[in-house]
């Protein structure tokens, strides 16, 4: 049994890629994409038909007074999502533009628009997760969307305060970023951190234990992994989203993975139930220097990736005279 097969006994494996060939090879349950992954995939010749399809769609709908660039980008993201859903049994995550990270109403409107496109393509709502940044505004937008039956994946999650607010909002899934937490502490300490002291693993373990101890239905999906040891230390976490490089490494290794997280062990933790209003959330999140810095940095990076994808859309539309 490979490490990948062993890991699948305890956690749902999710592919962190927009590369359809890689998803076909590793056969994950779910998949997640973002603007940088879409930009890379969209420029591959084998996906030109998806680009052309989004282009035709934007031309037709832009005559109704809608922005051709916005239409193109939304349709491209959804069409990639639809292709991915043809080869996985579960769900695909499609991201809301990071420019809307502090815009509750804008996030809600964009999520509704993406879901409408999926429905138009014949995809059931329960097969899609709308990916939203874990700001206070993003979390409150997700709370409203969940009430409407639109399921959300709260990304860029670094602090326990964010996890608490997501629990209260009853979001479907959260994606705490193991690797980026590790990166911050490694840089801060100026040295490598032993696997048994990994702060990213510690953070996700605490969140998982809290959710399971208090019966919170929100699923925890560890994300942004740097090394296999982080994955094996979180075996048992609800879901783990893994890059193609690490999926390959897991598939080639025959070492056995033992379960580390479970609802039973979570119930024995000494965690205390907590609830945060907006003021408490902002204060508690601010008290975590790593989380404050990494959330801001993550939004900037995702925003930049979105603008690169937007520039690509501009070029495609200009080339066809549709801009």
List, by residue number, the catalytic residues: 131
Q: Which H/E stretch holds residue 112?
A: helix 104-120
The full length of the chain comes to: 323
Question: What single string gives the DSSP state of each residue in 130-173?
Answer: EEEE-SHHHHHHHHHHHHTT--EEEEEE-SHHHHHHHHHTT-SE
Pair 261, 202: CB distance under 8 Å: no
Count of beta carbons in the 10 Å neighbourhood of residue 120? 11
Candidates 34, 243, 300, 66; CA nearest to 153 is 34
Q: How far apart are CA 115 and CA 26, in angstroms?
A: 27
- Residue 215 CB contacts under 8 Å (≥ 6 apart), including other chains: none
Pair 258, 3: CB distance under 8 Å: no
* Burial class for 190, CB neighbours closer than 10 Å (0-12, 13-18, 19+): exposed
Q: How far apart are CA 142 and CA 42, in angstroms?
A: 28
Per the listing, tokens 């969209």 go with 42
Q: Which H/E stretch holds residue 175?
A: strand 173-176
Q: What are 77's two structure tokens?
A: 């993201």
Task: Name the DSSP letter for residue 96.
Answer: P
């Amino acid at each position: 049994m490979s490490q990948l097969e062993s890991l699948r006994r305890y956690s749902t494996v999710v592919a962190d890629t927009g590369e359809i060939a890689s998803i076909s090879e590793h056969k994950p349950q779910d998949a997640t994409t973002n603007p940088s992954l879409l930009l890379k995939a969209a420029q591959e010749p084998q996906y030109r038909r998806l680009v052309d399809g989004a282009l035709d769609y934007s031309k037709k709908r832009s005559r109704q007074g809608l922005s051709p660039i916005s239409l193109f980008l939304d349709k491209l993201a959804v069409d990639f999502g639809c292709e991915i859903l043809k080869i996985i049994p579960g769900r695909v995550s499609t991201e809301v533009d990071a420019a809307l990270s502090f815009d509750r109403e804008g996030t809600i409107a964009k999520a509704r628009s993406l879901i409408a496109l999926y429905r138009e393509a014949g995809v059931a709502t329960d097969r899609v997760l709308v990916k939203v940044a874990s700001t206070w505004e993003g979390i409150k937008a997700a709370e409203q969307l969940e009430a409407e039956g639109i399921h959300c994946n709260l990304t860029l999650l670094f602090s326990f305060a964010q996890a608490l607010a997501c629990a209260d909002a009853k979001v479907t899934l959260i994606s705490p970023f193991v690797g980026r937490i590790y990166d911050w502490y490694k840089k801060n300490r100026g040295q490598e951190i032993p696997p048994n002291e990994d702060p990213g693993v510690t953070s996700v373990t605490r969140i998982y234990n809290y959710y399971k101890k208090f019966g919170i239905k929100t699923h925890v999906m560890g994300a942004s992994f740097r090394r296999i040891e982080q994955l094996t230390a979180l075996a048992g976490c609800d879901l783990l989203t893994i890059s193609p490089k690490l999926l390959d490494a897991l598939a080639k290794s025959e070492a056995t993975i033992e379960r580390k997280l479970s609802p039973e062990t979570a119930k024995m933790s000494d965690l205390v139930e907590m609830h945060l209003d907006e003021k408490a959330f902002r204060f508690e999140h601010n008290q975590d220097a790593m989380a404050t810095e990494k959330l801001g940095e993550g939004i900037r990076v995702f925003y930049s990736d979105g603008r690169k994808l937007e520039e690509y859309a501009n070029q495609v539309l200009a080339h066809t005279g549709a801009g």
